[in-house]
C-alpha cells in the first residue's frame, strides 16, 4: 500500500468547473508538498504546507494534520491547468510521493 494515497487517479472537467484533488497519508509529517507535472515531464512546486491553508491565484491547498489529509482545489479551471498533480509528504529526512492525479480540463 502506498504511504501516500491520492484520489481520484484521473479527473476530467469542463472549463470553469471547481476541482478538488485529495491526498491522504499514513504517518505524522513535517510538511506536505503539492506538485504539478506538465506533459513534458517537468515538475514545479505549487505549495508547501505545514498547517492550515494557502492560496495562490486560482489554486488553494488545505491540510488537516490531525486527520492526515490534504486537498488541492482549483477554482474556475482552465485547459492550461491540465497536468498531473502530485502530493508528497516530508517526514524527518524522507519524502514520499503519491502516484499523482491526472487532470484534463476540456474547453
Partner 1 sequence: DGGITQSPKYLFRKEGQNVTLSCEQNLNHDAMYWYRQDPGQGLRLIYYSQIVNDFQKGDIAEGYSVSREKKESFPLTVTSAQKNPTAFYLCASNMDRVGNTIYFGEGSWLTVV
Do the Cβ atoms of 74 and 18 come closer than 8 Å? yes
**What is the DSSP track for 13-40?**
EETT--EEEEEEESS--SEEEEEEE-TT
98 binds partner 1 (CB under 8 A): yes
- Does 32 bind partner 1 (CB under 8 A)? Our answer is no
Q: Does residue 35 touch partner 1 according to CB under 8 A?
A: yes
Cα–Cα distance between 73 and 55 in angstroms, integer? 9
Q: Which stretch binds partner 1 (CB under 8 A): 12-20, 29-37, 59-67, 72-80?
A: 29-37
Edge-to-edge order in the sheet of strand 52-56: 4-7, 19-25, 69-74, 59-64, 52-56
| Cα–Cα distance for residue pair 29/78, rounded to 1 Å | 32
Out of 20, 24, 58, 97, the residue judged to bind partner 1 by CB under 8 A: 97
- Which of 1, 44, 56, 67 binds partner 1 (CB under 8 A)? It is 44
Interface residue with partner 1 among 42, 57, 67, 80 (CB under 8 A) is 42
Give me the residues that bind partner 1 (CB under 8 A), please: 2, 4, 30-31, 33, 35, 40-45, 48, 50, 86, 88, 90, 92-93, 95-100
Amino acid at each position: 500500500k502506498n504511504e501516500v494515497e491520492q484520489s481520484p487517479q484521473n479527473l476530467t472537467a469542463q472549463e470553469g468547473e471547481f476541482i478538488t484533488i485529495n491526498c491522504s497519508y499514513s504517518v505524522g509529517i513535517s510538511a506536505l508538498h503539492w506538485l504539478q507535472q506538465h506533459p513534458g515531464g517537468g515538475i514545479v512546486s505549487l505549495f508547501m504546507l505545514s498547517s492550515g491553508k494557502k492560496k495562490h491565484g486560482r489554486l488553494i491547498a488545505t491540510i488537516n494534520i490531525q486527520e492526515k489529509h490534504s486537498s488541492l482545489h482549483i477554482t474556475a479551471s482552465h485547459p492550461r491547468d491540465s497536468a498531473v498533480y502530485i502530493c508528497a509528504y516530508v517526514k524527518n529526512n524522507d519524502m514520499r510521493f503519491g502516484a499523482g492525479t491526472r487532470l484534463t480540463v476540456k474547453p
